[in-house]
Amino acid sequence: MNVRQFAWLAPFALLACSPDQQPPAQPPLEGARIGGAFTLTDQDGKRVSDTAFAGKYRIMYFGYTFCPDVCPVDVQNLAAGLKLLEKSDPALAQRVVPIFVTIDPERDTPAVLKQFVGAFHPRMVGLTGSPEEIAKVAKEFAIFYQRGKGTPDGYLMDHSRQAYLMSPEGKPLALLPQDGTPQAVANEIKRWVK
Protein backbone atom coordinates (compact mmCIF):
# COMPACT_ATOMS: atom_id res chain seq x y z
CA MET A 1 0.00 0.00 0.00
CA ASN A 2 1.36 3.38 -0.98
CA VAL A 3 0.98 5.93 1.83
CA ARG A 4 1.11 8.79 -0.66
CA GLN A 5 -2.13 7.60 -2.22
CA PHE A 6 -3.94 8.47 1.00
CA ALA A 7 -2.00 11.63 1.89
CA TRP A 8 -4.74 13.80 0.43
CA LEU A 9 -7.12 12.42 3.12
CA ALA A 10 -5.04 13.78 6.01
CA PRO A 11 -6.64 17.25 6.18
CA PHE A 12 -10.12 15.72 6.21
CA ALA A 13 -9.14 13.24 8.93
CA LEU A 14 -7.84 16.09 11.08
CA LEU A 15 -11.01 18.07 10.48
CA ALA A 16 -13.18 15.11 11.43
CA CYS A 17 -11.25 14.61 14.68
CA SER A 18 -11.20 18.28 15.63
CA PRO A 19 -13.01 18.95 18.93
CA ASP A 20 -14.42 22.16 17.41
CA GLN A 21 -16.39 20.08 14.92
CA GLN A 22 -18.30 18.06 17.51
CA PRO A 23 -22.05 18.54 17.40
CA PRO A 24 -23.30 20.96 20.07
CA ALA A 25 -24.43 19.35 23.30
CA GLN A 26 -28.14 19.02 23.86
CA PRO A 27 -29.62 20.60 26.99
CA PRO A 28 -29.75 17.91 29.70
CA LEU A 29 -33.47 18.35 30.35
CA GLU A 30 -34.49 18.61 26.70
CA GLY A 31 -37.64 16.57 26.17
CA ALA A 32 -38.37 16.15 29.90
CA ARG A 33 -41.98 16.50 30.96
CA ILE A 34 -41.38 19.45 33.25
CA GLY A 35 -43.37 22.68 33.19
CA GLY A 36 -46.72 23.64 31.84
CA ALA A 37 -49.36 26.33 31.64
CA PHE A 38 -50.19 28.28 34.79
CA THR A 39 -52.00 31.37 35.97
CA LEU A 40 -50.91 32.79 39.32
CA THR A 41 -50.78 36.13 41.15
CA ASP A 42 -47.62 38.23 41.07
CA GLN A 43 -46.07 40.40 43.79
CA ASP A 44 -48.16 43.37 42.61
CA GLY A 45 -51.42 41.45 42.99
CA LYS A 46 -51.89 41.02 39.21
CA ARG A 47 -52.92 37.73 37.62
CA VAL A 48 -50.08 36.44 35.44
CA SER A 49 -49.98 33.42 33.17
CA ASP A 50 -47.02 31.57 31.72
CA THR A 51 -47.74 33.28 28.38
CA ALA A 52 -46.61 36.59 29.93
CA PHE A 53 -43.07 35.18 29.80
CA ALA A 54 -43.25 33.88 26.22
CA GLY A 55 -40.07 34.69 24.32
CA LYS A 56 -38.01 34.90 27.53
CA TYR A 57 -35.83 32.32 29.18
CA ARG A 58 -36.94 31.71 32.76
CA ILE A 59 -35.27 30.65 35.96
CA MET A 60 -37.97 28.81 37.91
CA TYR A 61 -37.38 28.32 41.63
CA PHE A 62 -39.96 27.08 44.12
CA GLY A 63 -39.62 27.95 47.81
CA TYR A 64 -41.14 30.08 50.53
CA THR A 65 -40.28 33.41 52.10
CA PHE A 66 -40.40 32.20 55.71
CA CYS A 67 -37.70 29.61 54.97
CA PRO A 68 -35.06 30.08 57.66
CA ASP A 69 -32.00 29.26 55.59
CA VAL A 70 -32.09 27.30 52.32
CA CYS A 71 -34.42 29.39 50.12
CA PRO A 72 -32.79 32.76 50.81
CA VAL A 73 -29.33 31.32 50.14
CA ASP A 74 -30.46 29.62 46.92
CA VAL A 75 -32.29 32.70 45.64
CA GLN A 76 -29.34 34.95 46.55
CA ASN A 77 -26.98 32.67 44.62
CA LEU A 78 -29.24 32.51 41.57
CA ALA A 79 -29.71 36.31 41.60
CA ALA A 80 -25.97 36.89 42.03
CA GLY A 81 -25.29 34.61 39.04
CA LEU A 82 -27.76 36.58 36.93
CA LYS A 83 -26.15 39.86 38.06
CA LEU A 84 -22.73 38.57 36.96
CA LEU A 85 -24.22 37.76 33.58
CA GLU A 86 -25.74 41.25 33.40
CA LYS A 87 -22.23 42.68 33.77
CA SER A 88 -20.53 40.37 31.26
CA ASP A 89 -23.33 40.08 28.68
CA PRO A 90 -26.18 42.53 29.39
CA ALA A 91 -28.14 41.76 26.20
CA LEU A 92 -28.18 38.05 26.92
CA ALA A 93 -29.07 38.56 30.60
CA GLN A 94 -32.07 40.71 29.64
CA ARG A 95 -33.55 37.66 27.93
CA VAL A 96 -33.74 35.82 31.29
CA VAL A 97 -36.53 36.35 33.85
CA PRO A 98 -35.96 35.03 37.39
CA ILE A 99 -39.22 33.66 38.86
CA PHE A 100 -39.84 32.65 42.48
CA VAL A 101 -42.97 30.54 43.01
CA THR A 102 -44.10 30.09 46.60
CA ILE A 103 -45.08 26.70 47.96
CA ASP A 104 -46.57 28.43 51.03
CA PRO A 105 -49.49 30.49 49.69
CA GLU A 106 -51.08 30.83 53.13
CA ARG A 107 -48.32 33.16 54.31
CA ASP A 108 -46.77 34.35 51.04
CA THR A 109 -49.17 37.08 50.03
CA PRO A 110 -48.27 39.40 47.15
CA ALA A 111 -47.04 42.03 49.65
CA VAL A 112 -44.76 39.51 51.38
CA LEU A 113 -43.45 38.28 48.03
CA LYS A 114 -42.80 41.84 46.85
CA GLN A 115 -40.51 42.52 49.79
CA PHE A 116 -38.77 39.14 49.40
CA VAL A 117 -38.04 39.18 45.65
CA GLY A 118 -37.13 42.87 45.75
CA ALA A 119 -34.34 42.08 48.19
CA PHE A 120 -32.63 39.80 45.67
CA HIS A 121 -33.08 41.11 42.14
CA PRO A 122 -35.01 44.06 40.69
CA ARG A 123 -36.45 41.93 37.84
CA MET A 124 -37.37 38.91 39.95
CA VAL A 125 -41.04 37.97 39.74
CA GLY A 126 -42.75 36.48 42.78
CA LEU A 127 -45.80 34.27 42.20
CA THR A 128 -48.44 32.99 44.58
CA GLY A 129 -51.99 31.70 44.26
CA SER A 130 -54.59 29.55 45.90
CA PRO A 131 -53.42 26.28 47.47
CA GLU A 132 -54.98 24.45 44.50
CA GLU A 133 -53.18 26.64 41.95
CA ILE A 134 -49.84 26.16 43.71
CA ALA A 135 -50.40 22.39 43.93
CA LYS A 136 -51.09 22.27 40.19
CA VAL A 137 -48.04 24.26 39.13
CA ALA A 138 -45.78 22.41 41.58
CA LYS A 139 -46.95 19.10 40.09
CA GLU A 140 -46.27 20.38 36.55
CA PHE A 141 -42.71 21.25 37.57
CA ALA A 142 -42.12 18.02 39.55
CA ILE A 143 -41.76 19.90 42.84
CA PHE A 144 -42.37 18.04 46.08
CA TYR A 145 -43.61 20.07 49.05
CA GLN A 146 -45.58 19.58 52.25
CA ARG A 147 -46.18 21.40 55.48
CA GLY A 148 -43.55 20.37 57.99
CA LYS A 149 -42.93 20.84 61.68
CA GLY A 150 -44.38 23.61 63.76
CA THR A 151 -41.97 26.10 65.30
CA PRO A 152 -42.45 28.89 67.84
CA ASP A 153 -42.85 31.25 64.86
CA GLY A 154 -45.29 29.08 62.89
CA TYR A 155 -44.27 26.13 60.71
CA LEU A 156 -41.68 25.01 58.19
CA MET A 157 -42.24 23.67 54.70
CA ASP A 158 -40.45 20.61 53.36
CA HIS A 159 -39.75 20.92 49.65
CA SER A 160 -37.46 19.99 46.80
CA ARG A 161 -35.13 22.77 45.76
CA GLN A 162 -34.17 22.51 42.12
CA ALA A 163 -33.80 25.63 39.98
CA TYR A 164 -34.87 25.12 36.37
CA LEU A 165 -33.69 27.06 33.35
CA MET A 166 -36.61 27.08 30.92
CA SER A 167 -36.62 28.00 27.24
CA PRO A 168 -38.56 30.91 25.70
CA GLU A 169 -41.24 28.34 24.84
CA GLY A 170 -41.44 27.20 28.47
CA LYS A 171 -39.59 23.92 27.89
CA PRO A 172 -36.97 22.66 30.38
CA LEU A 173 -33.31 23.08 29.42
CA ALA A 174 -31.15 22.48 32.50
CA LEU A 175 -30.90 22.56 36.27
CA LEU A 176 -28.95 25.53 37.60
CA PRO A 177 -26.29 24.83 40.23
CA GLN A 178 -27.73 26.89 43.09
CA ASP A 179 -25.31 25.10 45.46
CA GLY A 180 -22.37 26.29 43.35
CA THR A 181 -20.90 29.73 43.00
CA PRO A 182 -22.70 32.64 41.32
CA GLN A 183 -20.16 32.26 38.50
CA ALA A 184 -21.24 28.63 38.01
CA VAL A 185 -24.86 29.81 37.75
CA ALA A 186 -23.87 32.50 35.21
CA ASN A 187 -21.85 29.98 33.20
CA GLU A 188 -24.71 27.49 33.03
CA ILE A 189 -27.17 30.17 31.94
CA LYS A 190 -24.75 31.37 29.26
CA ARG A 191 -24.25 27.81 28.08
CA TRP A 192 -27.91 27.35 27.14
CA VAL A 193 -29.31 30.84 26.49
CA LYS A 194 -28.89 31.67 22.81
Three-class DSSP labels, 127-179: EECCHHHHHHHHHHCCCCEEEEEEECCEEEEEECCCEEEECCCCCEEEECCCC
Known binding residue 67? Answer is yes
Known binding residue 17? Answer is no
pLDDT by position in tens, the chain (length 194): 443 443 433 443 444 444 454 545 899 999 999 999 999 999 999 999 999 999 999 999 999 999 988 999 999 999 999 999 999 999 999 999 999 999 999 999 999 999 999 999 999 999 999 999 999 999 999 999 999 878 777 899 999 999 999 999 999 999 999 888 999 999 999 999 98
Known binding residue 71? Answer is yes
Residue 190 buriedness (CB in 10 A; 0-12 / 13-18 / 19+): middle
Tell me what pLDDT residue 24 has: 56
Tell me what pLDDT residue 101 has: 98
Tell me what pLDDT residue 38 has: 97
Residue 54 buriedness (CB in 10 A; 0-12 / 13-18 / 19+): exposed
Tell me what pLDDT residue 120 has: 97
Backbone angles phi, psi at 155, to 5 degrees: -155, 160
Tell me what pLDDT residue 151 has: 73
Domains and CATH numbers, the chain: 33-192 (3.40.30.10)
Backbone angles phi, psi at 49, to 5 degrees: -110, 170
Tell me what pLDDT residue 154 has: 84
Backbone angles phi, psi at 29, to 5 degrees: -100, 10
Q: At what angle do helices 70-88 and 182-192 cross, to 10 degrees?
A: 60
Q: Which residue type does 115 have?
A: Q
Tell me what pLDDT residue 2 has: 43
Which DSSP state fits 8? G
Residue 20 buriedness (CB in 10 A; 0-12 / 13-18 / 19+): exposed
**How far is Cα 130 from Cα 128, in angstroms, rounded to an integer?**
7
Tell me what pLDDT residue 174 has: 97
